[in-house]
Structure formats: C-alpha cells, structure tokens
Amino acid sequence: MRTVLIRSPRPWLHAVIGALLSLPLALAAVLAAPPGRPLPLRAAASVVALLAVLAAMGIPRAGRTGSVRLANALLGTELPAPVARMSRDHRLRTTAWLVPHMVVGLAVTAVTFLLLLSAVVFPAVWLTGGGQVSTFGTTVPVEAGWRGAWTPPVSVVTLAAAAYVALGGAAVLRPLAQALLDHRPAERLAAAEEELNRLAGQQRLARELHDSIGHTLTASTIQAAVASELLDRDPEAARRALTSIEETTRTAMDDLDHVLGLLRAGITPTAPPRTLADLGPLTDGVRQTGAGLRVETRGDFTRVPATVSREAYRIVQEGLTNALRHGDPSSITLQVTAGEDWLDLELLNLPSGKRAPRRRPAGQGLDGIRERVRTLRGETSAGPWYDAEDGHERWRLTARLPLRSPA
C-alpha cells in the first residue's frame, strides 16, 4: 500500500465511485419490477435486470480497463493493463469484482456520510444552545454551556472514524482487486507475447525508417554534389539532378507516412510497402546520382512470397546505400535471381578509390540486413571478395532467402 493513501481522500473517492456504479443496477431493478405484479415475479425480474446490467458493465474490455485504472489510482495497487484478447474468465472476474466494489462502496459512503453529518451536527447544536440529537437510532441530549463541551472532541473522533472507515474499505477491496483483476499465469504469458510482438514491430519499423530515409539522404547528397558541379557548365544536367532529389525525397516522405500510419492505432497506411516489383524506380534513382549500376534479374518474381519480396527490396536498398556511401559508385553490380526454392541477392562494388577493401565496421545497415535474413531463415555474408576476371578486390554482399517455409 502506498503511504500517501493514509492522508489522501482517494480511498473514499474509490468508494463513492463504487456507490455511483450501483445506481444503474438499482434503477434497472426498480424498472424491471413495477408494482402490481406478484412478488415472486417482481423478485425474479429484479434479479435478471441486476445480472444483465452487471454483465453489461463487466464484460466489455472497457470495464476491466477502467477497474484496473481506478484501483491503481485510488487504491494504491499496481495491477497490469488488461491483455488485448480477453477470455471469458477475464470478463467473469471483472464482473465479480464490480459486486464488492459496489457493495463496499455503498457501505463506506453511507457510514462516512453519517459520521461526517454527526461531526457537524453535535457541535452545531451545542453552539446554538443545546437540544436533542437523534442519530443511529438513539436520541442524545446536548446541553448548553460547559456541559456540552464534549461535542468538539466527539466531532474530531467522528472525523477520524470516517477516515478510517474509508481506509478499511480500501483494505477490504485491495486484496480482492489483486485476486480478480491481476494477471493469472496464462495472462502473464499473453501479456509477455504482446510486449514481444510490440517490440518486434517497433524494431521492424525502425529498420524500415533506417533503410528508406538512409537511402534517400545518401542519394540526395550525391545528387546535390553532382548538381553543384554541373550548375555552371551543364545547367540542364544540374536541373535533372535537382529534379531527382525532389522525386527521391517525395518517395521517402511516402515511406515515412507509411511507417507513421502503422504507428497510429486504427489508421490505414497511405502507402504500400515496397517489394521487388519496385526495383526499377529504386535502381533508376541510384543511376540518377551518376552511379554506374548494372542490374541483372533472373526468374519469375511473381512467385516470390510477399514477405520475402518486401524484405528483399529492403536488403537491396540498404546494400545500394552502403555502396554509394562507402564504395566507388562508378562500378556497382546487382544480381537478383528467383529460383525454385531460393531467392539469391548479390551486390558487388569497388571500394572507394579502387583501393583494397578493408573490412567495414558492422553498422546498423548490415545489422539490419542480417536481422531480416535471420528472420526469414536465410543466409547472408558481407566482406571483401577477389574478382578473378579483372583482378580487383570488391566488396560483396550476398543474401539467400528461402521461398518455401521449412518443413
């Protein structure tokens, strides 16, 4: 229990809310049993109405969510948020929780109201000359003068009693809340799975942003440098480079809008994810930076599963981004082969200045590629590779993705 509750009206407020929640049940019971009908029929109708309203309050997810939030805020509990998929057991326990919440809330509210009323009435009668006070079924004489001086201490005791009644109600409800609103083992497992799925989704979206925005910034930087060099001697070529920057930036904004759409609950993404069908615009954008890119494709890409096609596009995008950043953009070769069982990706490029390629530090780009390939149960490699045909060492990135789920 949080110590702040001892000097806080929150337990009493929780009781008052429970009392207010009982009002719809009382109204339904009264309306379902109008006068003039036999007593057994009226009693049965009242019970049915009570159960129906109670179920309507406890079965929806909002009922459990609201109960958990109220208990955490006003009772000092630390209950976890409800799982996304609520079972029948969750809903029954929520409904069961509402019963003591209402009953204890009514009791605490009624008793504290009477105690607070007594704490005000006794001193008021004494100060106005004395009289008779009827309370709790008895009549108490309050005399004027010093003989009635006992009323202020009684008022203080009554106020303290009202505070402890509220605390007592919270002490009764707190363990019940833990028993009925806390996660059970199956719920804890479901909550852990939801958290893992949420984190995995965030990582996937982070990779999407890294690949898309990183590629666009790299391509735009190179194109801006090209436009700056050509501005005086070839204004038309500089204008094409600037137009290309505009187009690639707009594409990046579409990707960003797509990712943000995924993050907003209930909002449909405005742009579909890129796949191998979008390789043409991607490679055209790389060529517009002035890079010498040669692309070889083999096989039928329509047979590639959507998930594999989407991840393959991102792998190629990140590979081309790395080639533009760290290599010689004048010589880049991309091969994409869709076979019967595998999709093979190979990207070759010369190191910057045609020096022997040194092993590049593993950054987020290569880590993202490895993570994508590992998720699809594929194979990947990245590092220096000697080309026997021209005698140059190149940087080689390969990825092999299965087109069929493993048995």
And the tokens for 246?
């505009």
Give the model confidence (pLDDT) of 227-249 as tens digits.
777 777 777 777 777 777 766 67
**Quick count: other Cβ atoms within 10 Å of Cβ 52?**
13
Task: Report the distance separating Cα 259 and Cα 243, nearest Å.
Answer: 25
Please list the residues that pair with 134 across neighbouring strands. Answer: 139
SS3 293: strand
Using alpha carbons, list the distances in angstroms from residue 302 to 103, 240, 257, 296, 338: 64, 33, 26, 16, 9
pLDDT at residue 266, rounded to an integer: 43
Task: Report the distance separating Cα 301 and Cα 339, nearest Å.
Answer: 9
Task: Report the distance separating Cα 222 and Cα 330, nearest Å.
Answer: 12
Return the DSSP state at 155: H
Angle at CA 404, nearest 5°, toward 212 and 343? 50
Locate the domains of the chain by residue range: 3-183, 191-402
Task: Report the distance separating Cα 387 and Cα 395, nearest Å.
Answer: 10
In CATH terms, is domain 191-402 a member of 3.30.565.10? yes
When computed from its CA atoms, the radius of gyration of the chain, rounded to whole angstroms, is 36
* Contact present, 123 and 155 (Cβ < 8 Å): yes
H/E element, 17: helix 10-32
* Contact present, 403 and 308 (Cβ < 8 Å): yes
Return the DSSP state at 182: S
Task: Report the distance separating Cα 95 and Cα 75, nearest Å.
Answer: 18
| Helix ranges restricted to H, 33-141 | 39-58, 61-70, 88-127
Residue 335 Cα to chain centre, angstroms: 39
* Positive or negative torsion for Cα 36, 37, 43, 47: negative
pLDDT at residue 407, rounded to an integer: 46
Q: Which residues of the chain are under the pLDDT cut of 50? A: 1-6, 265-270, 354-363, 407
Give the model confidence (pLDDT) of 88-141 as tens digits.
888 888 899 999 999 999 999 999 998 888 888 888 888 888 888 776 677 888
